Amino acid sequence: MPGNAPSKTAPAKMAISTTINGQSYDFLCDPRQSLLEVLRDTLHLTGAKEGCNNGNCGACTVLIDGEPVNSCLVLAVEVAGKDLTTIEGIADKGVLHPLQQCFLEGAALQCGICTPGFIVAAKALLDKKPNPTEEEIRFSLAGNLCRCTGYDKIVRAVQAAAERIQSVQPSGGTPQRKQAQQPQAQQQQSQQQQ
């Protein structure tokens, strides 16, 4: 009918319960709100970055039940009951994960916008394949773009992290976390003082 305009009321917010970085979260969101928006704007977990907002750059990569996804392409309502890991959950009680440490030591970052996505995607790879080949690393990280560095330092950082994780993993067990490695200069100083 000519006088009846469609209703412009906003859809009702939805209550979502999920686990993020080992902690239970309850939040309200619009049905069309992306996971990236909720992480950054509602939950103040700002590690995932908005690069393209269309799934092409990987800067917003998070893990959902261990699988890497672009959080800009996932609706927040889809994570109800799921287990999420963001870059904020990669370190363990203030100790950097070997991936984070190797990215720092290997200068595998510049501006930092893409770094969280690369680290989260690389963690998903190393969780499934602890000793990947260079080709497997490059293939696994192909959905993540960096406009500052070449990809070689990033690949080398992932290789170094895989080696480091393997060196602290007891045979047949899960990796045991140990304190972050001292920078090489500090190690040499300590040895010289002894």
Q: What is the DSSP string of 52-114?
A: SSSSSS-TTEEEETTEEEETTSSBGGGGTT-EEE-GGGTSBTTBPPHHHHHHHHTT--SS-SS
Token pair, residue 148, equals 């500052």
User: Does 185 have pLDDT greater than 50?
Assistant: no
pTM over 0.85: no
Instruction: Choose which CATH entry (3.50.50.60, 3.20.20.100, 1.10.150.120, 3.30.460.10) describes domain 98-170.
Output: 1.10.150.120
CB 141 within 8 Å of CB 156? no
Residues 6 or more apart in contact with residue 53 via CB below 8 angstroms: 34, 36, 72
CATH 3.60.40.10, domain 14-89, yes or no: no
pLDDT tens digits for range 10-59? 779 999 999 999 999 999 999 999 999 999 999 999 999 999 999 999 99
Any idea where the domains of the chain sit in the sequence? 14-89, 98-170
Read off φ and ψ for residue 31, nearest 5 degrees.
Answer: -60, -25
